[in-house]
Amino acid sequence: MKIQAYKVDAFMKAPPANLAGVLFYGPDAGQVSEKAKIMAQQMVVDLDDPFLTALLDGEDVKEDPAKVQDELSAMAFGGGRRLLKIRDAGNAHAKTLTDAVETIPQGREADYAFLIVTAGELDTKSKLRALFEKDARLAALPCYTDDSRDLSQIVRTECQTVGILPERGVVEYLSAECQGDRLIAKNAVRKLALYVGGGQVTLEQAMACIRPVTEAQLDTISHALLAGNGAAVQEQVRRALLQGLQPVQMVRACLRATERLMLITAGMRAGQSFDLAIKPLWPPVFYKDKPLVQAQANRYQRAPKRLQALHKALFEAEIQLKSTLLPPELTLNHALLVAVWGLMPKR
């Protein structure tokens, strides 16, 4: 059976009596995992009971195809229906699963283990997806990435569950940081609840707890650059490269920081205070970075041409990184040092 995405939850609440198995697939790994677990809990009393559940992955199926049929037909110790879960499946496993499902007699589905298969994104030509869509005793259940509205609601619900009260901006920040993945979002809320210990949660607390390490490392490079500190730029670039960050990521981070600073200084030149000038920015300035950003704003408030020149230099550096045959690390260091020199006041 082919189930449309918006009907998946309703289908799971009242599955057909002759349902032999389901396929959860899609780009949202968190949603695939979550829905597969909910379905599994409906089928067996205890997911931790080894007599009731069997777990295989794609490699297990590839190495021993007969194991699928053996697990489907195995009897549960003490009676009841068993569960067979196969994770990380793909088109290469379609033939094995087809053969195994064909051994289940019509009308006797409940005598065999219930089959749950999880997979990543599958296109319309996928053989695995076709198996679950065309067989009336199977169902293909898509799990697409939650949009920002859905994810925000998931975050709010999880906040209620763990007993925290998010202040303005917290839900939006968590939703934006969780890459459209509901499992990441739920884990982030649980981590935040442990961090604050319950009660009100401020945006500053959420950012301090959830802020990605990558983002923090990239910010140190842009801060060093805007401070005009060439030695610090080279040191932070060296550390970022050791962490596996790409040169183009660093240039883009510096571009974003420069664009944000251009907006802040434009507001300040128009008569706004620093706090008022940063208010429209999203994501907001990390509270620990505010003194640094304010110092940068004060430094460049009366020097808009220097920021414009920096923006142009970084833009050209990104193009050069994508087109040059030189080592990207060398191109990056040269471009950033030239940018630092360009920021120095000319006599």
φ, ψ (nearest 5 deg) of residue 268: -70, -35
- Position 326 scores a pLDDT of 66
Residue 147's pLDDT is 66
Closest of 71, 121, 57, 68 to residue 95, by C-alpha: 68
Closest CA to 250 of 221, 230, 229, 228: 221
pLDDT of residue 226: 86
Quick check: 282 and 259 in contact, CB under 8 A?
Answer: no
**What is the residue whose two structure tokens read 């205890």?**
46
pLDDT for residue 338: 72
The tokens for 110 are 């409940």
pLDDT score at 131: 95
Domain borders along the chain are 5-142, 148-210, 213-343
The listed CATH number (3.30.70.260, 3.40.50.12780, 3.40.50.300, 3.30.1360.70) that belongs to domain 5-142: 3.40.50.300
> Domain 213-343 maps to which CATH number in 1.20.272.10, 1.20.140.10, 1.10.3720.10, 1.10.260.40?
1.20.272.10
Q: Return the DSSP state at 22.
A: E
Judged on CB neighbours under 10 Å (0-12, 13-18, 19+), 42 is exposed
What is the spatial distance between Cα 219 and Cα 257, in angstroms, rounded to a whole number?
A: 8
Residue 232 DSSP code:
H
Prediction pTM value: 0.53
| Digitized pLDDT (tens) for each residue of the chain, 347 residues in all | 999 888 898 999 999 989 999 999 988 787 888 899 999 999 988 888 888 899 998 888 989 999 999 999 988 776 778 999 999 899 999 999 999 999 999 989 988 999 999 998 899 899 999 999 999 999 999 988 766 677 888 899 999 999 999 998 889 888 877 766 777 788 889 989 998 888 999 988 888 887 666 677 788 888 888 887 878 888 888 888 776 778 888 888 888 888 999 999 999 999 999 989 988 887 788 877 888 899 989 988 888 888 888 888 888 888 877 776 667 777 777 777 777 776 665 55
CATH topology of domain 148-210: Helicase, Ruva Protein; domain 3 (1.10.8)
- Residue 163 has a pLDDT of 92
Asked if 198 and 164 count as a contact pair (C-beta separation under 8 A), the reply is yes
Q: How far apart are alpha carbons 51 and 291 in whole angstroms? A: 60
Rounded to the nearest 5°, which phi and psi values hold at 183? -70, -40
> Euclidean distance between the first and final Cα of the chain, in Å?
75
Contacts of 61 (CB under 8 A, 6+ apart): 67, 68, 86, 89, 93, 96, 97
Measured CA angle at 100 (ends 32, 140), to 5 deg: 30
